[in-house]
């Protein structure tokens, strides 16, 4: 016969209460420390702009004016009009719950930022910068994207068919760039699209609107 010995650990109620309170706080503190480290690295990569002087190692990022947190994790970064002249580093996607990124009205150069690993991103505002080159052919990796504004840059090339696979989009502004080709018919697949603007793309070839746009039943602004 095999004898089994079962040991039961009895935790006194006061200690149990202490553990239940302190363990979640410890986890939250670790998360805040990690996200602060990411954001301070981001600030450094952006050239330590004076406009981000509130970002420091002695305060919580959730208290910084440009940062919004939900349940003690960073969900929104708003860098609108911060005179940024450096590229957005890919490490920004280490903020695993980032849903809103607004870098509008700056002087950011280079190609479309390396942010396709920001898997929870829903709002992306890149308008009024110095971006160049094409929209990534696999932009549909940002599968949760609902709002995309690329207005007033120098993006060029064809608008990729993959943009038609961003099925959550309700707002798409591609105004005043250097796109060529024609209106992509795949935009007609965006069944939730409400606002679409593509004016001032002078390199577009003259053509009729694709008949596929007739499938945009929720469209309110064109």
Q: Is residue 2 part of a domain?
A: no
Number of domains comprising the chain: 1
For the four alpha carbons of 140, 123, 85 and 44, in that order, the dihedral sign comes to negative
Span 190-207, pLDDT tens digits = 999 999 999 999 998 888
Q: Are 89 and 110 in contact (CB under 8 A)?
A: no
**To which residue do tokens 């002078």 refer?**
202
Higher per-residue pLDDT: 25 or 187: 187
Kindly state whether residue 162 falls inside one of the protein's structural domains: yes
The answer on pLDDT for 47 being more than 50 is: yes
What domain range includes position 95? 13-215
Question: Is residue 111 situated within a structural domain?
Answer: yes
CA 163 to chain centre: 16
The average pLDDT across 155-173 equals 97
Nearest-angstrom CA–CA distance, 173 and 147: 9
Residue 100 covered by a domain: yes
Token representation of residue 207: 């053509």
Confidence of residue 183 (pLDDT cuts 50, 70, 90): confident
Q: Can you tell me the distance from the alpha carbon of 214 to that of 56, in angstroms, rounded to the nearest whole number?
A: 51
- Residue 8 domain-assigned? no
Closest residue by Cα to residue 163 from 134, 184, 192, 194 = 184
Report if residue 3 sits inside a domain.
no
CATH of the domain at 67: 3.80.10.10
Provide mean pLDDT across the span 30-49: 94
Is 132 within the bounds of a domain? yes
For the entire predicted model, the pTM comes to 0.86
Q: Is residue 7 part of a domain?
A: no
């Amino acid at each position: 016969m095999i004898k089994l010995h079962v040991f039961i650990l009895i935790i006194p109620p006061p200690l149990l209460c202490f553990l239940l309170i302190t363990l979640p706080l410890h986890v939250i503190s670790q998360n805040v420390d990690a996200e602060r480290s990411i954001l301070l690295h981001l600030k450094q990569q952006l050239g330590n702009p004076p406009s981000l002087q509130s970002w420091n190692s002695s305060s919580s990022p959730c208290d910084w004016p440009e940062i919004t947190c939900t349940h003690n994790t960073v969900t929104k970064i708003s860098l609108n009009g911060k005179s940024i002249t450096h590229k957005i580093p890919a490490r920004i996607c280490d903020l695993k719950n980032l849903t809103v990124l607004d870098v509008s009205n700056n002087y950011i150069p280079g190609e479309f930022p390396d942010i396709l690993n920001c898997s929870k991103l829903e709002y992306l505002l890149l308008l009024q910068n110095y971006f160049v080159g094409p929209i990534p052919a696999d932009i549909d990796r940002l599968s949760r994207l609902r709002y995309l504004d690329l207005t007033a840059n120098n993006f060029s090339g064809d608008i990729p068919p993959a943009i038609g696979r961003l099925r959550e989009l309700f707002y798409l502004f591609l105004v005043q760039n250097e796109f060529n080709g024609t209106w992509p018919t795949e935009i007609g697949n965006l069944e939730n699209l409400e606002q679409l603007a593509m004016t001032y793309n002078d390199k577009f070839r003259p053509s009729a609107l694709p008949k596929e746009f007739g499938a945009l039943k929720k469209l309110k602004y064109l």
